[in-house]
């Protein structure tokens, strides 16, 4: 049993894990370098240990031993999907709250993942040499995701420059500049399946999330369920996700990501961690995903099954960033009023400083309703109540987004923000016909 847990992360995800631990009677340990020692997560744990950096893999292990913690939860980002870190945690005699190092290695290698997916009968996008694929194509980092090391190439004369830029970005982000080429699917939807797997080998799907509204290949609005899926297609994609997870011996909470065009779908990758957008799944299934992570790490069998979906949930991320350019902004939160009518997962509070050295997320706002329109209306009203002073935020953009006719109608793809620039005037009304993308 886990008695004391160290969270090797910061911000809202550290606070989210602390809440789950508190409800389970587990003591908590925060870590923070000197420049982040005053952060909310460092003030909220039962104990805080200073570390040199969130990216120094030896530091959380040292802090765990110093504090007497017997388990480490990596959160998301930083070291969360680092197989060597997971292996070092286990070698130190600590409980690792996450997938096995071997599963992380396979999931983290995008080329190997595609091979495993093919062998498991899961559809993947064609990859290969640019001359064979033709254009447009997309270059991707083999060692990571999150939009980094990614370039769309539409003509042959763009290829060399794009490949060099993608490789440099991948090297800086992941320490590996390897990139590969893949056929580019125009205007797809982004669908992901929430998975849970236990040490006994059981893997289940908790349904999908749609995350098609993105800027720079990073998610802006997430919802569950997807307005594009009927039950038959939901089952097909879920079965594909479970097949891949079983093929790599997956345990813990994970997310299989897919592209969808019409009724065709292709596997992209498996993220071996809790996702930023996990609350929308929690609200429509009633399953606490962080508690499930902790129970699975303790060796307990899954105590949930493939759940019936309960209503609809939508999440947006409130950032300290320019609402048109999405460039990060720093400053002191002189005033912060977050809505009480919906779920809010915040990583800061009034009076805190938003530093440009770290993720500028202020909070996630998540609304749940009986229908999709109910959830969007609740989110619209909650955003109207939200007040932030002292830093520039994307609040005007979020208010624009959740009232946009195409968003309200569910007519969005990954190209939405390219075709509808932030804060631009929306069309007067959406088309009447139902539309599933493609």
**Catalytic residue of the set 234, 251, 273, 295:** 273
Q: Which residue has the tokens 């609005």?
A: 221
CA nearest to 382, candidates 326, 342, 328, 425: 342
Question: For the packed helices 101-108 and 83-91, what is the interaxial angle rounded to 10 degrees?
Answer: 170
Rounded distance between C-alpha atoms, residue 435 and residue 396, angstroms? 27
Report cis status (omega within 30 of 0) of the bond before 281.
Answer: no
Write the CA distances from 44 to 31, 33, 60, 319, 349, integer angstroms. Answer: 11, 15, 17, 21, 12
Strands 331-332 and 71-73: unpaired
User: Which sign, positive or negative, has the C-alpha torsion 248, 254, 256, 257?
Assistant: negative
Q: Say if CB 357 and CB 382 are below 8 A apart.
A: no
Q: How many CA atoms lie within 13 A of 412 on its CB side?
A: 30
**273 has catalytic annotation:** yes
Residue 344 belongs to what H/E stretch? strand 343-346
Point out the residues that are catalytic. Answer: 273
């Amino acid at each position: 049993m886990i008695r004391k847990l160290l969270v090797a992360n910061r911000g809202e995800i550290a606070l989210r894990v602390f809440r789950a631990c508190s409800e389970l009677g587990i003591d908590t340990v925060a870590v923070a370098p000197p420049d982040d020692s005053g952060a909310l997560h460092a003030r909220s744990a039962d104990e805080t240990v200073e570390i040199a950096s969130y990216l120094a893999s030896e530091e959380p292990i040292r802090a765990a031993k110093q504090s007497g913690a017997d388990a480490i939860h990596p959160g998301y980002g930083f070291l969360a999907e680092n197989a060597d870190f997971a292996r070092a945690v286990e070698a130190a005699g600590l409980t690792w709250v996450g997938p096995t190092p071997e599963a992380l290695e396979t999931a983290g290698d995008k080329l190997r993942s595609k091979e495993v997916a093919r062998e498991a009968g899961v559809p993947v996008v064609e990859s290969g040499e640019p001359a064979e694929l033709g254009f447009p194509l997309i270059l991707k980092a083999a060692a990571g995701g999150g939009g980094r090391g990614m370039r769309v190439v539409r003509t042959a004369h763009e290829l060399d420059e794009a490949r060099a830029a993608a490789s440099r970005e991948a090297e800086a982000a992941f320490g590996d500049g390897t990139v590969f080429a893949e056929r580019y699917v125009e205007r797809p939807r982004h669908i992901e399946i929430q998975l849970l797997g236990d040490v006994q080998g059981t893997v289940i799907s908790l349904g999908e999330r749609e995350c098609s509204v993105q800027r720079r290949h990073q998610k802006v609005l997430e919802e569950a369920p997807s307005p594009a899926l009927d039950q038959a297609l939901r089952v097909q994609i879920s079965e594909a996700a479970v097949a891949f997870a079983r093929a790599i011996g997956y345990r813990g909470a994970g997310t299989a990501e897919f592209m969808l065009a019409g009724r065709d779908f292709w596997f992209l990758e498996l993220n071996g961690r809790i996702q930023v957008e996990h609350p929308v799944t929690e609200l429509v299934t009633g399953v606490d995903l962080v508690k499930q992570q902790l129970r699975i790490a303790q060796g307990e069998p899954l105590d949930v099954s493939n759940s019936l979906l309960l209503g609809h949930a939508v999440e947006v991320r409130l950032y300290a960033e320019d609402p048109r350019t999405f460039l990060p902004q720093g400053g002191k939160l002189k005033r912060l009023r977050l809505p009480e009518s919906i779920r809010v997962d915040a990583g800061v509070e009034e009076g805190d400083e938003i530093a440009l050295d770290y993720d500028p997320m202020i909070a996630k706002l998540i609304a749940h309703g009986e229908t999709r329109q109910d959830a969007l209306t609740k989110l619209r009203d909650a955003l109207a109540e939200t007040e932030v002073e002292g830093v520039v935020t994307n609040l005007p953009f979020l208010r624009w987004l959740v009232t946009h006719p195409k968003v309200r109608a569910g007519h969005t793809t990954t190209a939405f923000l390219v075709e509808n620039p932030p804060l631009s005037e929306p069309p007067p009304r959406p088309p009447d016909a139902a539309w599933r993308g493609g």
